[in-house]
């Protein structure tokens, strides 16, 4: 197993600015598929998974622009494909998060299973079963999830066991454009899930129960693009704070949300 060995001579000092949270940025990038007009994102971390997500969205016809500050504008108004191919999904399991937005807005999606032609229980079964409860016809063929809906998805009462972050995010994005009200019970409560919900609400969704284990989604007919800043990465911030603590150092960590760091700082 690979490992990092860090030798520290003396104390740490200085100031470090925290990046945007990858685990918030990825579902928000996929959520841009739901908007009928361009969305502009800031504080997106510059990581391989973000690059892969943008490549995946671009392969489906999303227009992507960067400004001089590396803010990202995404326009999903004219998709050319509703497929997430294996060669991209295989490099990043979070690619499965295009399933909910594609099905919810366009009524169809073809998304490779993260592990290809998996046999037996799949880690995305909760995603599939939840969308089936919303009225989707879903088949798994040759390693692909092929999903279709006859018109808008329908609101449903969905209980997720076990708790799943990506499952909560995928079903949340599928439900925002569904007809009627959807209840996601035993939902993940991580700040990154709440950030996605706040992003969707800013686009015009109606999601309540943020930060709790029950999310209530009243479906709307359309969502529009917005400007949105991704939350800071609590894991990165916690890592620097822990490093300062174990070396008995004084380190300034900026662009953080203390409410996301109570486990570390309390």
- DSSP string over 187-231: ----HHHHHHHHHHHHHT-EEE-TTSSEEEEE--S-B---EEEPP
- Contact, 66 vs 47, CB < 8 A? no
**117 in catalytic set:** yes
d(CA 170, CA 62): 19
CATH number at residue 69: 3.65.10.10
pLDDT digits (tens, 9 = 90+) for 168-193: 999 999 999 999 999 999 999 999 99
Token pair in block for residue 136: 């989707």
d(CA 136, CA 173): 14
For residue 152, being part of any structural domain is answered with yes
Residue whose entry in the numeric block shows the structure tokens 């916690």: 238
Domain that holds residue 109: 19-229
For residue 169, being part of any structural domain is answered with yes
CB atoms within 10 A of CB 71: 15
For residue 235, being part of any structural domain is answered with no
- Contact, 55 vs 61, CB < 8 A? no
* Mean of all residue pLDDT scores within the chain: 93
Instruction: Provide the β-strand partners of residue 145.
Output: 111, 140
For residue 219, being part of any structural domain is answered with yes
Q: What phi and psi, each to the nearest 5 degrees, are found at residue 56?
A: -65, -45
pLDDT digits (tens, 9 = 90+) for 52-109: 999 999 999 999 999 888 899 999 999 999 999 998 888 888 899 999 999 999 999 9
CA angle, residues 24, 26, 29, in degrees to nearest 5: 110
Give pTM, 2 decimals. 0.94
Residue whose entry in the numeric block shows the structure tokens 């499965």: 96
User: Domain total for the chain?
Assistant: 1
Token pair in block for residue 183: 């209840």
- Tell me which of 58, 65, 117, 245 is the catalytic residue: 117
């Amino acid at each position: 197993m690979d490992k990092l060995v860090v030798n520290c001579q003396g104390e740490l000092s200085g100031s470090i600015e925290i990046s945007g949270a990858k685990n918030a940025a990825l579902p928000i990038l996929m959520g841009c598929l739901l908007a009928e007009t361009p969305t502009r994102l800031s504080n997106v971390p510059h990581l391989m998974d973000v690059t892969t997500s943008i490549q995946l969205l671009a392969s489906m016809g999303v227009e992507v622009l960067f400004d001089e500050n590396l803010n990202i504008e995404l326009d999903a108004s004219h998709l050319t494909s509703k497929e997430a191919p294996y060669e991209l999904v295989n490099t990043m399991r979070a690619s499965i998060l295009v399933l909910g937005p594609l099905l919810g807005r366009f009524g169809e999606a073809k998304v490779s299973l993260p592990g290809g032609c998996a046999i037996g229980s799949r880690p995305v079964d909760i995603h599939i079963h939840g969308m089936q409860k919303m009225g989707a016809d879903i088949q798994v063929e040759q390693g692909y999830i092929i999903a279709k809906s006859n018109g808008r998805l329908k609101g449903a009462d969905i209980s997720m066991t076990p708790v799943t972050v990506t499952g909560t995010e995928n079903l949340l994005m599928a439900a925002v454009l569904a007809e009627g009200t959807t209840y996601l019970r035993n939902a993940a409560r991580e700040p990154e899930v709440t950030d996605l919900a706040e992003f969707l609400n800013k686009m015009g969704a109606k999601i309540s129960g943020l930060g709790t284990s029950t999310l209530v989604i009243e479906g709307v007919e359309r969502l529009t693009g917005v400007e949105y800043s991704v939350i800071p990465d609590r894991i990165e911030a916690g890592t620097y704070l822990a490093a300062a603590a174990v070396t008995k150092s004084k380190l300034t960590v900026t662009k953080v949300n203390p409410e996301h760091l109570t486990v570390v700082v309390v």
